[in-house]
Amino acid sequence: MIKTGDRTIDWTSFKSCSDKKDVVLIEDGEIKVLGSTIEEVFVDKENDVLHRVQRLLFNDPEKGTRTVNLHIKASTFEPLSCTDTGNENVSVHYGVNGIEVSSDEEGGEIQRTYEREEGIFDLFSVELLLRLLPLETGYTCKLIAFSLMAKERITVEIEVVGLESISDGIKEIAAWQVNVHFGEMLQKYWIGKETKELLKQSIQLDDKVFFDFVR
């Protein structure tokens, strides 16, 4: 079980970076571009803070824009705060006395406090963690993360399937295919073997229906 601050992981090796991917729906082999996602990661070493901003921009203006702002300690990945402007505005603060969640629900703003266990991650930091793990075929690990969307702790299981050739947006490179179970939900990721970049993400919605993030 991996916990924040695990001494076998070089947390401070994560560097500031940015990325843009197309958001595509694949149904019976037909591809439809729904929009794009932009990730920006800023590492403030002086204040020991890593700030990740992820924006989901849909081509359909009626779907709006979703933005997730995550702050964690750069040296341990210990969560500090996170906000999500999805279907409902939700924010979480990781305090000494617990995990404090505030959300806009019918009837107004609702505030709840959940128990905070030692070593817990924020769910939105898992995609950052994948780029730091010692990936190799057969590698597995588990961790506990708090989901802002589900408002509960979730067991995350990570397994490396093997190496594949995948586009980095310019050329084909070797990448690790990593299966990640967020509770019962499976998402697949491809992490560059040498670059450690997150190159692709895939979620299977139904038989022959996939929701992918690709360069």
Provide, rounded to the nearest whole percent, the portion of the chain with pLDDT above 90.
Answer: 86
Asked whether residue 123 carries a pLDDT value surpassing 90, the answer given is: yes
Please enumerate in sequence order all residues whose Cβ is within 8 A of that of 67, keeping only pairs 6 or more positions apart, or say none: 53, 54, 55, 56, 83, 84, 85
Q: Which of 62-76, 99-113, 122-136, 191-205 has the lowest mean pLDDT?
A: 99-113
Per residue in 131-180, pLDDT (tens digit) is 999 999 999 999 999 999 899 999 999 999 999 999 998 999 999 999 99
Which H or E element spans position 16? none
The total of other beta-carbon atoms located within 10 Å of residue 190's CB is: 26
For the question of whether the overall pTM of this predicted structure is more than 0.85, the answer is yes
State the pLDDT at residue 87: 67
pLDDT band at 208 (very low <50, low <70, confident <90, very high): confident
Mean pLDDT, residues 27-46: 96
Please enumerate in sequence order all residues whose Cβ is within 8 A of that of 72, keeping only pairs 6 or more positions apart, or say none: 49, 50, 52, 78, 79, 80, 122, 125, 128
Q: What is the rounded distance in angstroms from the CA atom of residue 21 to the CA atom of residue 101? A: 30
Residue 30, token pair as written in the block: 């037909």
Asked whether residue 61 carries a pLDDT value surpassing 90, the answer given is: no
DSSP 116: -
Per residue in 80-114, pLDDT (tens digit) is 999 999 767 899 999 988 999 999 877 688 899 99
The total of other beta-carbon atoms located within 10 Å of residue 116's CB is: 17
| Rg of the chain in Å (alpha carbons) | 17
